[in-house]
A and B are shown apart, each in its own frame.
Chain A
């Protein structure tokens, strides 16, 4: 029972983090490797503000969301848009955005490292206190409940919006063929900015919830989750909302089971090994669609 609670709780964190990355990658073709830095830096900003004044839980969450959204918008405007304008073709744009994201990520990382000397930091100065509830033999915290409920709710809302709304359809069409979408009157730039803002907000939210769950992160914490998010999205299938949810909870399940029943040294090897085996069978991911190209 406790293992199930751990899987759902950990999977929800992974879902919140990966959702933003999957959203931009699957729709506007931006694989944002600055996502991990945004996740960390949004929390770092909340930590700095808490150093001046104690704030309640929702205020801290709000700070994380807003900072994440703003940072993501800045990255899009200052880095990714110029790259897209200058790129010769889509393929070179994707590679340059990937490299650009890695480069951009070092800036917030360096700022946080200098300020904290890479010591752990957390949100303990807020007025919010983690409470443990008992469900039979299992335990769950109020933070975990919030993460699960909010994570699944946001995932569901985004999935429905992408599928059913006109704007969602417009966004998906950009992912299929941005030129044609533009010709159909879709404002690519506005949708891209909105998508990046939502993605950044999700990263910031994930950062705050993750820090409340673990009590502390370091400036490098985002990098670890970034690799996992990448694996989650590939496993589930790029562009698939169902896939990212599957990938998040599948990875959480494998990690928890390995940690529970074996020596923890095998966690990464087993988790990523399984992902590799799945991809051998389904290269597009579990929920990925096969690409159709005209001859």
Chain B
């Protein structure tokens, strides 16, 4: 009995020590993002905290990790240039959503009560972003996304998306279609991506093409022989493959094995080297993209140059979008003259009314919380991407 009482006493003491340390150590919560330590210009604190949430592991890791590189480069430049003031720096930390919706939502829920955090960068994954947005919007936490093109992401004045919807820049391929004088198309698309469903059902016909056959495949489809057979039986002028991940090289390989040798209209999900496993069978897929490292806009080339100096590789579109998202947030904070969340949201609204230059191009505008980009047409050569043209060229 005495031993048991002693153990309880020890446990209570230990708990008391832990609680005391927690109360003393949580310095971030004692000062709101808008108050005190006014080391910067105007009412900006010396450190503006931003939390990023990206899938660093899981199926979308390639996009999440690339986006983080863009964010980090932008933040480095923002701080080096003293963009927010001589004594104010932006501090961004990233958390891994692990490709899981509950984890992504939990990250936002954890950030909301931490008033030392001024804003967030949301997940590239649509499914995760749709879970994050309601929490952020309702709690008044500014959040900027990249990718995440489905409905339910940009839902209010605290949510913005620095990636244009694919349907808005896909029309850049019309020039390519007209050059080749195509009139009909057969489409094989995945129904697992709302973006690609929209491209298949709305954007492709708007290129002036009549759809001879349109087949939806599921996320678990691993053999495309049958849909390819169906499409080719209608003798379209061109075939469109709108898939994600490994389905792109698989579909291209099986399309070539079926005897189709012409060009293929794809989507930017085939970028980032996803077609490499298909070898030469992947060649001559053409897609519309919001960014390619070869595009000639001077602000884009400046970004490419800075990115290569930092990472010794060419940037993907995810990095370019992250870069522009971070600069958008920085300008919004500067516009607001405050790290207060509500004021940042006002700053974002103001910035979204202005034109800007960035990695994605020049004189970019925003519409309904989403950036607008004219787009470029890119062709996969079998080994590399080749910029065919940009909408502004």
| A residues whose Cβ falls under 8 Å from a Cβ of B | 2-3, 6, 9-10, 110, 113-114, 117-124, 130, 132, 139, 141, 210, 213-218, 220-221, 224-225, 228, 255-256, 259-260, 263-265, 267-268
Query: Are the C-beta atoms of B220 and A224 separated by less than 8 Å?
Result: yes
Contact A122 B62 (CB under 8 A): no
Instruction: Give the chain B neighbours of A132 by CB distance below 8 A.
Output: 257
Distance of A214 Cα from B250 Cα, bound (Å): 5
Contact with A along B278-300 (1 / 0, CB 8 A): 11010000000000000000000
- Residues in A with CB closer than 8 Å to B248 are 120, 216
18 A-B Cβ contacts within 8 A?
A6-B229, A9-B225, A117-B61, A120-B274, A120-B277, A214-B223, A215-B279, A216-B277, A217-B246, A218-B59, A224-B222, A225-B222, A228-B220, A256-B223, A256-B225, A264-B217, A267-B217, A267-B221
* Residue ID in chain A nearest B217 by CB atoms: A264
Cβ–Cβ < 8 Å partners of B142 in chain A? none
State whether B277 touches A215 (Cβ < 8 A). Answer: yes
**A47 CB, nearest partner CB in chain B, Å:** 9
Partner of B253, one of A6, A119, A215, A220: A215
| Residues on the A chain within 8 Å of B277, using CB | 120-124, 215-216
Measured between beta carbons, the chain B residues less than 8 angstroms from A123 are: 277
Question: Whole-angstrom distance between the alpha carbons of A113 and B226 in the complex?
Answer: 30
Chain B residues with CB under 8 Å of A225's CB are 222
Q: Please list the residues of chain B having a beta carbon within 8 angstroms of any beta carbon in chain A.
A: 57-62, 65, 191, 215-218, 220-223, 225-227, 229-230, 245-246, 248-250, 252-254, 257-259, 272-274, 276-279, 281
Which 7 A-B pairs rank lowest in CB-CB distance, beginning with the nearest? Answer: A122-B277, A216-B277, A120-B246, A259-B226, A215-B253, A216-B249, A264-B217
A17, chain B: closest CB distance, angstroms: 11
A141 and B273 contact, CB distance less than 8 A: no
Q: Which residue of B lies closest to A117 (CB)?
A: B62
Known: A214-B246, A215-B250. A139 touches B258 (CB 8 A): yes
A133 to B: closest C-beta gap in Å? 10
Q: Say whether A118 contacts B218, CB under 8 Å.
A: no
The answer to whether A264 and B62 touch across the interface, beta carbons within 8 angstroms, is: no
Which partner residue on chain B sits nearest A143 by CB separation? B257
**Contact in complex: A124, B278 (CB < 8 Å):** yes
Residues of chain A with a CB closer than 8 A to B257's CB: 130, 132, 139, 141
Q: How far is the CA of A210 from the CA of B281 in the complex (A)?
A: 17
On whether A216 and B278 interact (CB within 8 A), knowing A120-B249, A263-B216, the answer reads yes
Q: Is the CB of B278 within 8 A of A215?
A: yes
* Residue from A114, A228, A260 in contact with B229 in the complex, judged by beta carbons closer than 8 Å: A260
- Chain B residues with CB under 8 A of A6: 223, 225-226, 229
Task: Pick from B253, B277, B278 the residue with the most CB of A within 10 Å.
Answer: B277
Q: A5 → chain B, closest Cβ, in Å?
A: 8
- Rounded to whole Å, the gap between the CB of A200 and the closest CB of chain B is 21
| Contact in complex: A118, B59 (CB < 8 Å) | yes
User: Contact: B218 with A214, CB < 8 Å?
Assistant: no
18 other A-B residue contacts (CB within 8 Å) besides A213-B223, A216-B248, A268-B218: A6-B223, A118-B58, A119-B62, A120-B248, A122-B278, A124-B279, A132-B257, A210-B222, A218-B245, A225-B222, A255-B223, A259-B217, A259-B221, A260-B229, A263-B216, A264-B215, A267-B221, A268-B220
In the assembled complex, the Cα of A225 lies from the Cα of B278 at a distance in Å of 21
CB of A16 to closest CB in B, whole Å: 14
B234 to chain A, nearest CB (A): 13
Cα distance A2–B234 when bound, in Å? 16
Chain B residue numbers with a CB within 8 Å of A264 are: 191, 215-218, 221, 227
The answer to whether A117 and B250 have CB atoms under 8 Å apart is no
- A-side contacts of B272, CB under 8 Å: 119
Tell me if B281 and A215 are in contact (CB < 8 A). Answer: yes
Could you tell me the distance in whole angstroms from the C-beta of A49 to the nearest C-beta in chain B? Answer: 15
Interface centre among A121, A123, A264, by most chain B C-beta atoms within 10 angstroms, is A264
Nearest-CB residue, chain A, relative to B188: A264
CB within 8 Å for A118 and B60 given contacts A139-B257, A216-B277 = yes
Contact A214 B217 (CB under 8 A): no
- Nearest Cβ in chain A — how far from B167, in angstroms? 20
CB distance from A168 to the nearest CB of B (A): 32
Bound CA–CA A139/B222 (angstroms): 18
Find A10's partner among B59, B223, B227, B281 (CB 8 Å cutoff). Answer: B223
CB distance from B140 to the nearest CB of A (A): 34
**Cα–Cα distance between A259 and B253 once the two chains are bound (Å):** 18
What is the distance, in angstroms, from B231's C-beta to the closest C-beta of chain A? 11
